[in-house]
A and B are shown apart, each in its own frame.
Chain A
Amino acid sequence: MFASVARRASGSRLLTHVEKTESRIVEVSLTPVCKNSAAACCFAGSPRPRRRYVGGKLALWATLFLLSVSFVTPCSATGPTSDDCLACHSDKSLTTKRGGRTVSLFVDQKKFAGSIHGSLQCTNCHADLDGKDLPHSTPLAKVNCGSCHGDESQLYAKSLHGRAVARGDSLAPRCVTCHGNHDILPVKDPRSSVAAMKVPFVCGQCHREGTPVQMNRNIAQHDILENYTESIHGEGLLKKGLIVAANCASCHTAHSILPHTDPNSSINRRNIAATCTKCHANIELVHRKIIRGELWEKQANALPACVDCHQPHKVRNVFYSQGMADADCMRCHANANLKSADGRPMLVRVSEVAGSRHMKVACSQCHSEVNASRVRPCETITHPVDCSSCHAEVGQQYQLSTHGQMHAKGDTNAPSCKDCHGTHHVLGKHAPESLTFPTNVPDLCAKCHREGHKAALVYTGVEHQIIPRYTESIHGKGLLKSGLTVTATCTSCHTAHRELPASDPESTVNPRNLPSTCGNCHHGIEEQFVQSVHSAAVTKTDKPLPVCNDCHTAHSIRRTDQDGFKLDIMTTCGRCHGEIAKTYFDTYHGKVSKLGYTKTAKCYDCHGAHDIQKVTDPRSHLSRANVVATCQKCHSDATRRFAGYLTHATHHDPKKFPFLYYTFWGMTALLIGTFTVGGVHTLLWLPRALQMRRELRAAEALEAQAEKNSGPTDSDAKDEYDA
Chain B
Amino acid sequence: MTTRLGADSRRGPQIISPGRLALYGTLTLFAALFVLPFVWQLGGSLKTPAELATGSFNLFPADPQWGNYAEVFRRAPIATWFANSVVIAVLGTLGATLTSAFCAYGFAVLRARGSRLAFGMVLLTILVPYQVLIIPEYIVWAKLGLTNTPIPLVLPWFLGGGAFNIFLLRQFMLGLPRDMVDAARVDGAGELQIFRRIILPMCAPALAVVAVFHFIFMWNDFLRPLLYLQDPSATTLPVGLAGFVTRFARQWHLLLAGSAIALAPLVIIFALAQRVIARGISVAGVRK
On whether the two chains bind one another, the answer is no
